[in-house]
Amino acid sequence: MSKGQEALTNIGVCLASVAFYPLYAGPAVRFQRYAPGLARRGVHMRVFTQAVSDALIARDGSLANRGESDLDSLSESAAEWPLFEVVDGLPVQRVELPKGWRHQPAYFQRLASYCEERRREIDVVQFLSLSFWAAPWMRQFRRLGIGTVFTHTLLGELSTNPWKRALRRIYWRFPFNLVDCVVVSSSAMRRRLEALGVSALIEVIPNGVDLRRFRPLANAEAKARLRAKLGLKPGWEIILAVGPIIPRKGTDVLVEAFVSLCHDYPNAHLVLVGPRHDLNRETLAGFRQRLQDTIAAANARHRVIFTGAVSNVEDYLQAADLLVFPSRREGMPNVVPEAMACGLATILTSFLGLPDEFGHSGEHYVLAERTPQALAATIAALLDDPERRQQLGRQAREWVEKQMDVEKSLDRYASLYRQLADRSREGRGQA
């Protein structure tokens, strides 16, 4: 293979994400998992992100510090993170950023400078964070011959006020039209962007699942051993939720549903896996108090387990009896297809952005109304019917194997990066 052919084979991608490991950020975690598979396809990724700080760890949670936040230890852990390091084989460049309104423009300005310094190594910038503050520097990426992709991960709600609604449509649409391509994870998200008037190319690439990492356990003995490792007892009926503890995720509705079941299901335990944003954000003080009051009123403190952020979410999915995902608004949440891949029966509520790609209600998951009463009834019905849980889990696994294998998603991303890289290299004239 000639040097010219080799250059066309290897693609350099800069992952631009304001939050990255050790900070808890779902899209960044997903691309961190994608990186080895992309490398096998000739796509080599580097990361550009902000520096780790005590405040960011407290706000977002840390995958390096498990359990509930310990503010006394945060300063020590944050101080240990260098501005440059290699994480799971990925070169990660962190930059100090100012606070306040200058934070975002400074990030995009320094990203553009970083890419100009490494022009020969970067063919595509993969944005996970994008706003109108990026506009002044998008022309620089084009001048450098660098392709741009934005992976959009969360649908926003439009105001009922017609003036605010119109302004918000413009505010959202503008950043999407700055890039060469927008990637969304579901056809529902593409329809929403098209309705907003996004003119950039829109590609649908579902969030792929690593079927080797997320898989059913071999037998009940393996499940018992895993529960023992996690500190969960074999006889418990474990209802699992995964995600930050925030109102959008519907944690409050799930907790209310669970406590109403406690008396009739004495072995049931609710395990909440995800960063305690309710503890660390002042704006969530009222939400936190409502959760605590609900749990205390039912005398259920010992039956509601908060794990904090974890890096071994597959263990909890394999150890549980049910996943409940009562979110209000999403794009394509990673945990749902991951739970399905583990053969775990899953209950969803009809959130804004519910993807067709998850399969069919009643066959691959169960859909419930987002009320404590409806959710409790649906949970109880599945706790009472282990055969139905097994059937749902089996059918869910089969669906994910056929439709959401990460290898298919990696092929799609690699192909997209290659197209943009070839176009950008033509623009450079191989100079």
Would 199 be classed as within a structural domain?
A: yes
Do 73 and 195 have their domain in common?
yes
3-state secondary structure 198-229: CCCEEEECCCCECCCCCCCCCCHHHHHHHHHH
pLDDT at res. 159: 57
Do 191 and 256 have their domain in common?
no
Do 88 and 14 have their domain in common?
yes
Dist CA 257 CA 260 (whole Å): 5
Do 253 and 341 have their domain in common?
yes
Dist CA 258 CA 379 (whole Å): 9
Do 195 and 282 have their domain in common?
no
* Most confident region among 177-181, 192-196, 245-249, 316-320 by mean pLDDT: 316-320
pLDDT at res. 59: 77
Do 120 and 229 have their domain in common?
no
- pTM higher than 0.85: no
Dist CA 163 CA 25 (whole Å): 32
Count of structural domains, the chain: 2
pLDDT at 77 over 70: no
Burial class from Cβ neighbours inside 10 Å (0-12, 13-18, 19+) for residue 384 reads exposed
Do 59 and 90 have their domain in common?
yes
Would 35 be classed as within a structural domain?
A: yes
Which residues are 50's β-sheet partners? Answer: 95
Do 307 and 417 have their domain in common?
no
Q: Most distant CA pair in the chain: distance in Å?
A: 72
Do 62 and 177 have their domain in common?
yes
| Percentage of the chain modeled with pLDDT above 90 | 66
Would 115 be classed as within a structural domain?
A: yes
Would 328 be classed as within a structural domain?
A: yes
Would 22 be classed as within a structural domain?
A: yes
Boundaries of domain holding 339: 220-403
Do 47 and 143 have their domain in common?
yes
pLDDT tens digits for range 179-238: 999 999 888 889 888 888 888 899 999 988 999 999 999 999 999 999 999 999 999 999
| Mean pLDDT, residues 67-93 | 68
Would 213 be classed as within a structural domain?
A: no
Dist CA 57 CA 25 (whole Å): 11
Would 351 be classed as within a structural domain?
A: yes
- Within 8 A by CB and 6+ apart from 104, the residues are 131, 133
- pLDDT category at 337 given cuts 50, 70, 90 is very high
Burial class from Cβ neighbours inside 10 Å (0-12, 13-18, 19+) for residue 412 reads middle
Question: Which two structure tokens, joined as six digits, stand for 68?
Answer: 């509930």
| Mean pLDDT, residues 66-90 | 64
Would 214 be classed as within a structural domain?
A: no
- In 3-state terms, what secondary structure has residue 241? strand
Weakest mean pLDDT among 56-60, 185-189, 355-359, 377-381: 56-60
Do 66 and 177 have their domain in common?
yes
- Domain of 158: which CATH number? 3.40.50.2000
Do 146 and 237 have their domain in common?
no
pLDDT tens digits for range 305-314: 999 989 899 9
Which residues are 185's β-sheet partners? Answer: none
